[in-house]
């Protein structure tokens, strides 16, 4: 079976080169990996800014495309970190060296498709070049962490990356090609979609069976932490949007409600989903582990992250509306973008959670139905929130998220207790 880490040594038995230490079942996330993930706080902020800039539809599409490529890069390093210890020897040095590269990539995220007014003439090309350097760091470390590769393994590692980077480079050069704006805009989108298809599709079309999840605990913990990083962007977005607005009761209430929403979404993931995922990976054989890790984590965590980023983009519209409202008035309604981003983002997050649970095939009935009901309620609420204030819309969102978390907590108390005891005993 394939995954976002094509190519590799025989699982659990192949000797490692000098300067490498293997990951064991008890390995936890290292400080080097945490430092690498911190950069994604800024990257998520930049993606949110990209979504809210320019025309809403195209901005959202651009943001989702960039997020998809960033997520794939993160996933590659997550697979690598589950093979060799990230806080030891050359792995730590290379991982730390990728941090400034990742930061430069995040800095250029807003100009991934077109130069900003007053900016440099080749910013999209700089973005692609930095992305290429990041992938080269991964490739070098991945090759060093593997036993000598067969020809097909080398092809699986290098060719999809080169094709994807080549497509992105063509997209970066389209704005200066003399084509009309519409052709440039949608040509770039098409090229990005092709690049993403090459990267993600290679994981399925070029399967290599010599891959393993060496530590279920490390794998699930790493993904739990990146979910927390993304949820932090929810708080950062409303904080930044309200930074230049005079303090008011409405702004305080909006900030508090945003925290409630983020806390409820965090609870839904960490209270049960993370436990179920770790337990499922521990129970599976190596073949099953790779499939679960690829599908439930590398693939299905992307829409979770995308939903959180959409929520953050919608929340950026709230402070200006509640801050400008008179004391006796609750503020104007959100525009269509704000409503769809806020409610649609949470709906996408919960739908991805339901699909995650179905892929794990654990606790499907007690967990999936509250999430699917919440998704339906959220979608029904989108047109209704056009008639209420932005603060009220955020309030209803907080209520729906909280009720979903509480319902899931109540209906799954027994299985949760069993899972925690089982994991503590192992």
234 and 381 fall within a common domain: yes
Does pLDDT of 6 surpass 50? no
202 and 259 fall within a common domain: no
192 and 236 fall within a common domain: no
Residue 7's pLDDT band, with cuts at 50, 70 and 90, is: very low
| Degrees, nearest 5: CA angle 215-218-224 | 140
232 close to 369: Cβ distance less than 8 angstroms: no
SS3 assignment, position 394? helix
Of the chain, the percentage scoring pLDDT greater than 70 comes to 89
Q: Residues 176-199, buried b or exposed e (16+ Cβ, 10 A)? A: eeeeeeeebbebbbebbebbbebb
For residue 223, being part of any structural domain is answered with no
41 and 117 fall within a common domain: yes
Q: What is the CA radius of gyration of the chain?
A: 22
The first and second tokens of residue 70, run together, are 């960033």
Distance CA 257, CA 398 (A): 6
* DSSP per-residue codes, 53-92: SSSHHHHHHHHHHHHHHHHHHHHHHHHHHTTB-TTSHHHH
Higher pLDDT, 362 or 375: 375
Cα–Cα nearest to 100, from 133, 63, 64: 133
For residue 16, being part of any structural domain is answered with no
Which of 186, 213, 240 marks a domain boundary?
213
206 and 238 fall within a common domain: no
Q: Which of 174-178, 280-284, 363-367 has the lowest mean pLDDT?
A: 363-367
70 close to 258: Cβ distance less than 8 angstroms: no
Distance CA 413, CA 340 (A): 33
69 and 43 fall within a common domain: yes
Count how many domains the chain has.
2
The first and second tokens of residue 271, run together, are 């209270």
384 and 417 fall within a common domain: yes
For residue 380, being part of any structural domain is answered with yes
Q: Output the CA torsion sign for 344, 349, 351, 352.
A: positive
82 and 131 fall within a common domain: yes
pTM listed for this prediction: 0.92
194 and 284 fall within a common domain: no
Distance CA 210, CA 290 (A): 10
The first and second tokens of residue 402, run together, are 């909280």
The most confident of 59-68, 236-245, 278-287, 366-375, by mean pLDDT: 59-68
SS3 assignment, position 260? helix
User: Crossing angle, helix 249-268 and helix 390-411, to 10 degrees?
Assistant: 30
Q: Which domain does 241 fall in, by range?
A: 228-425
The confidence score (pLDDT) of residue 157 equals: 82
For residue 17, being part of any structural domain is answered with no
190 and 273 fall within a common domain: no
153 and 294 fall within a common domain: no
């Amino acid at each position: 079976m394939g995954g976002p880490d094509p190519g590799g040594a025989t699982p659990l038995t192949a000797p490692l080169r000098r300067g490498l230490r293997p990951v064991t079942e008890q390995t936890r996330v290292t400080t080097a990996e945490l430092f690498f993930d911190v950069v994604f706080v800024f990257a998520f902020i930049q993606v949110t800014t990209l979504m809210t800039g320019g025309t809403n539809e195209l901005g959202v599409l651009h943001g989702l495309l960039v997020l998809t490529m960033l997520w794939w890069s993160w996933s590659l390093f997550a697979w690598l970190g589950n093979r060799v210890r990230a806080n030891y020897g050359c792995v730590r040095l290379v991982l730390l060296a990728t941090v400034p590269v990742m930061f430069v990539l995040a800095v250029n995220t807003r100009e991934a498709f077109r130069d900003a007014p007053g900016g440099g003439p080749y910013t999209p090309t700089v973005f692609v070049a930095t992305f290429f350097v990041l992938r080269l760091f991964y490739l070098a470390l991945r090759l060093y962490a593997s036993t000598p590769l067969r020809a097909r393994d080398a092809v699986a590692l290098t060719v999809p990356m080169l094709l994807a980077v080549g497509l992105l480079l063509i997209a970066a050069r389209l704005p200066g090609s003399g084509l009309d704006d519409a052709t440039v805009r949608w040509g770039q989108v098409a090229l990005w979609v092709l690049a993403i298809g090459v990267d993600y599709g290679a994981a399925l079309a070029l399967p290599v069976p010599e891959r393993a999840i060496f530590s279920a605990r490390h794998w699930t913990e790493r993904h739990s932490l990146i979910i927390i990083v993304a949820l932090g962007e929810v708080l950062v977005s409303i904080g930044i949007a309200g930074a230049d607005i005079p303090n008011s009761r409405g702004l305080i209430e909006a900030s508090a409600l945003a925290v409630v929403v983020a806390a409820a979404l965090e609870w839904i993931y960490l209270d049960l989903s993370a436990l179920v995922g770790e337990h499922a990976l521990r129970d599976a054989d190596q073949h099953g582990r790779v499939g679960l890790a690829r599908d439930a984590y590398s693939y299905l965590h992307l829409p979770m992250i995308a939903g959180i980023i959409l929520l953050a983009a919608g929340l950026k519209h709230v402070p200006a509306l509640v801050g400008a409202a008179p004391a006796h008035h609750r503020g104007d309604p959100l525009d269509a973008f704000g409503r769809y981003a806020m409610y649609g983002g949470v709906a996408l997050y919960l739908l991805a959670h339901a699909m995650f649970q179905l892929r794990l095939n654990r606790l499907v009935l007690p967990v999936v139905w509250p999430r699917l009901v919440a998704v339906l309620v959220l979608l029904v609420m989108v047109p209704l929130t056009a008639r209420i204030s932005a603060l009220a819309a955020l309030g209803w969102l907080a209520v729906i998220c909280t009720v979903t978390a509480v319902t899931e907590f109540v209906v799954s108390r027994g299985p949760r207790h069993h899972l925690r005891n089982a994991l503590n005993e192992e």
